[in-house]
């Protein structure tokens, strides 16, 4: 039988090993995150001229749900960054370098921190334009720009670029029904996400993406 002393030493040894393993995993995680962020920055940089020239924003309004606005105000007050949803400002670096140049009530002015609170607290007012409303309701991250065009049948669609994603997203009209679908195009692999729209629509959208980015 092991003495108590031996058992304790064994336990401490195990714990040290576990801590070492966790530190190693954390380091590996940070390395992957760093690489991912460099990759995303490079993709953004290569896209930026097209986005600056051809992509736009969407104008939004706040709704008048008092409770939700109070909750959002509370979120801002307790946030790590200094956020004002009234002035649409944030103290983060991204806001200063990417978003501050846009006018108030243009969604491109919203950094991810403002975007998160507005989405969590459902502060967007319903938009009269169906496509714009779909975009405001269905995007999970703050977009860097939106390109709008029309299909052969005159239905409107939008290509959406995000700061945090390498895929391009497309709000595409449903084939046989009213309404829109959000799908993504993996620009590097050259393939659609599992959830995709009709082939005829996709082919037209792809042609537009190629015209925008392959020149
Ligand atoms: Zn921010």
Answer yes or no: pTM beyond 0.85. no
CA of 137 to the centre of ligand 1 (A): 20
Integer Cα distance of 210 and 27 in angstroms: 38
d(CA 112, CA 100): 13
- Cα 83 to middle of ligand 1, angstroms: 7
Residue 140 three-state SS: coil
Q: What is the mean pLDDT of residues 8-27?
A: 92
Q: What is the pLDDT of residues 101-159, one digit of tens each?
A: 999 999 999 999 999 999 999 999 999 999 999 999 999 999 999 999 999 999 999 99
Q: What is the mean pLDDT of the chain?
A: 92
Tell me how far the alpha carbon of residue 113 lies from the centroid of ligand 1, in angstroms: 4
| Model pLDDT, residue 1 | 58
- Ligand 1 midpoint to CA 24 (Å): 30
Instruction: Give pLDDT, residue 98.
Output: 93
- Centre of ligand 1 to C-alpha 106, Å, is 15
Measure the CA–CA gap between 110 and 132, rounded to whole angstroms: 16
| CA-atom Rg of the chain in angstroms | 23
User: Domain extents for the chain?
Assistant: 8-39, 57-125, 134-215
H or E element that contains 190: none
* Ligand 1 mean position, distance from CA 88 (Å): 10
- How far CA 114 is from CA of 61, 133, 138, in Å, comes to 14, 18, 16
Residue 114 CA to ligand 1 center (angstroms) comes to 6
Residue 33 Cα to ligand 1 midpoint, Å, equals: 19
Specify the pLDDT at position 127. Answer: 93
Q: What is the pLDDT of residues 70-87, one digit of tens each?
A: 999 999 999 999 999 999
The angle, 0 to 180 degrees and rounded to 10, between the axes of the packed helices 4-54 and 199-213 is: 80
Output the CA torsion 61→67→73→75 (10° steps).
-110
What whole-number distance in Å separates Cα of residue 66 and Cα of residue 194?
39
The average pLDDT across 88-100 equals: 96
If you average pLDDT over residues 189-202, what whole number do you get? 82
């Amino acid at each position: 039988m092991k003495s108590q002393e031996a058992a304790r030493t064994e336990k401490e040894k195990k714990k040290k090993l576990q801590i070492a393993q966790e530190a190693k995993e954390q380091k590996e995680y940070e390395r992957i995150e760093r690489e991912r962020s460099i990759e995303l920055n490079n993709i953004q940089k290569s896209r930026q001229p097209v986005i600056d020239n051809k992509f736009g924003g969407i104008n939004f309004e706040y709704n008048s749900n008092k409770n939700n606005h109070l909750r959002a105000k509370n979120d801002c007050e307790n946030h790590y960054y200094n956020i004002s949803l009234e002035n649409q400002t944030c103290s983060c670096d991204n806001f200063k370098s990417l978003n501050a140049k846009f006018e108030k009530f243009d969604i491109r002015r919203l950094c991810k921190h403002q975007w998160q609170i507005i989405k969590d607290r459902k502060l967007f007012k319903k938009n009269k334009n169906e496509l714009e409303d779909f975009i405001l309701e269905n995007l999970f991250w703050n977009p860097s720009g939106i390109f709008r065009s029309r299909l052969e049948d005159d239905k409107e669609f939008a290509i959406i670029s995000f700061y945090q994603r390498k895929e391009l997203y497309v709000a595409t009209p449903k084939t046989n029904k009213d309404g829109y679908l959000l799908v993504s195009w993996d620009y590097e692999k050259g393939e659609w996400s599992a959830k995709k729209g009709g082939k005829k629509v996709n082919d037209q959208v792809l042609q537009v993406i190629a015209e925008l980015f392959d020149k």
